[in-house]
């Protein structure tokens, strides 16, 4: 079955440490997205990518970095510059070129600070 | 800036009660509207969407939503809820800015008691 796989499910970060969240999709979607979900705030867009080797900042990109070297992969690095990283991170994808295509979501990664 | 407002953060209902969750957005142009649902322990799933045409759209599991352009609203309704509808519901809007960028509301947690 096609879908989006996020790993790990739970992740712990020490102070000053960078951590990388994995997102892989086999839906052949061109566009991929990273969101952060906090209680009472819904989902906020961190980064998105419409095509391989290209990505754009979302609304809350500070303290995060991404890469898009392959169509199926869009890893997110939470850097030490992100002072409040504890959150639930969701990866999504959608077909490119059709603006009304809905996004498909992964199961998420919950990041906590040790 | 575009924004989405969901007025009810927590809703508690008994089974068979009727449901209406409010969603208002701020954007003056053409919009695509979505409702997503997140069941406990599961990933976000698309419940229904509106792009054009009949402003009353039907989704999965007996849900429907009505787009009222003059009120900038896209309220979600279900005539008779079930215990299995317990979940968090997110309204999302896609306006201009391209790249299928979605703006999410803060979410509404629905608890249905047997």
How would DSSP label each residue in A23-60? EEE-S--SEEEEEEEETTTEEEEEEEEEETTEEEE-SS
Contact yes or no for B106 and A41 at CB 8 A = yes
Kindly give, in sequence order, each residue whose CB lies less than 8 Å from that of residue B14, ignoring residues fewer than 6 positions away. Answer: B112, B113, B114
Each residue of A63-111: pLDDT tens digit?
999 999 999 999 999 998 888 999 999 999 988 755 667 789 999 999 9
Report the share of chain B in percent with pLDDT over 70. 95
Short-list B90, B8, B84, B86, CA closest to A88: B90
Contact yes or no for A99 and B32 at CB 8 A = yes
The reply to whether B44 touches chain A by the CB within 8 Å rule is yes
Q: Is the pLDDT of residue B31 over 90?
A: no
Kindly give, in sequence order, each residue whose CB lies less than 8 Å from that of residue B91, ignoring residues fewer than 6 positions away. Answer: B4, B6, B21, B23, B25, B33, B34, B35, B74, B76, B104, B105
Mean pLDDT of B76-86: 97
Mutate one of B102, B103, B108, B109 to test the A interface: name it (highest A CB count within 10 A).
B102
For residue A27, CA distances in Å to A2, B19, B57 come to: 5, 34, 26
pLDDT for the residue numbered A1: 63
Contact yes or no for B32 and A45 at CB 8 A = no
**A91: which DSSP letter?**
E
Distance CA(B37)–CA(A82), nearest Å, equals 28
Contacts of B90 in chain A (CB under 8 A): 42-43
Residue the block writes with tokens 């209902």:
B13
Short-list B45, B42, B38, B35, CA closest to B65: B35
The reply to whether A88 touches chain B by the CB within 8 Å rule is no
Among candidates A4, A43, A94 on the partner chain, residue whose Cβ is nearest the Cβ of B90: A43
Each residue of B45-75: pLDDT tens digit?
999 999 889 999 999 999 999 999 999 999 9
Short-list A103, A85, A73, CA closest to A6: A73
């Amino acid at each position: 079955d096609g879908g989006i796989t996020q790993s790990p499910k739970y992740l712990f970060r020490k102070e000053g440490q960078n951590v990388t969240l994995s997102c892989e999709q086999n839906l052949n979607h061109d566009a991929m997205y990273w969101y952060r979900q906090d209680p009472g705030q819904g989902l906020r867009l961190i980064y998105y990518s419409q095509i391989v080797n290209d990505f754009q900042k979302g609304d809350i990109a500070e303290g995060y970095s991404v890469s898009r070297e392959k169509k199926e992969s869009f890893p997110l690095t939470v850097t030490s510059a992100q002072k409040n990283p504890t959150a639930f991170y969701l990866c999504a994808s959608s077909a490119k070129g059709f603006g009304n295509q809905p996004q498909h979501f992964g199961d998420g990664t919950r990041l906590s600070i040790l | 800036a575009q924004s989405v407002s969901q007025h009810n953060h927590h809703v508690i209902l008994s089974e068979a009660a009727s449901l209406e969750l409010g969603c208002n957005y701020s954007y003056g142009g053409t919009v695509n509207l979505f409702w997503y649902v997140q069941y406990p322990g599961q990933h976000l799933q698309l419940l229904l969407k509106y792009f054009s045409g009949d402003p009353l759209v039907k989704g999965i599991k007996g849900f429907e939503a009505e787009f009222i352009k003059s009120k900038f609203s896209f309220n979600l309704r279900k005539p008779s809820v079930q215990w299995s509808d317990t979940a968090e519901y997110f309204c999302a809007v896609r306006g201009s800015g391209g790249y299928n960028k979605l703006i999410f509301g803060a979410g509404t947690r629905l608890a249905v008691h047997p």
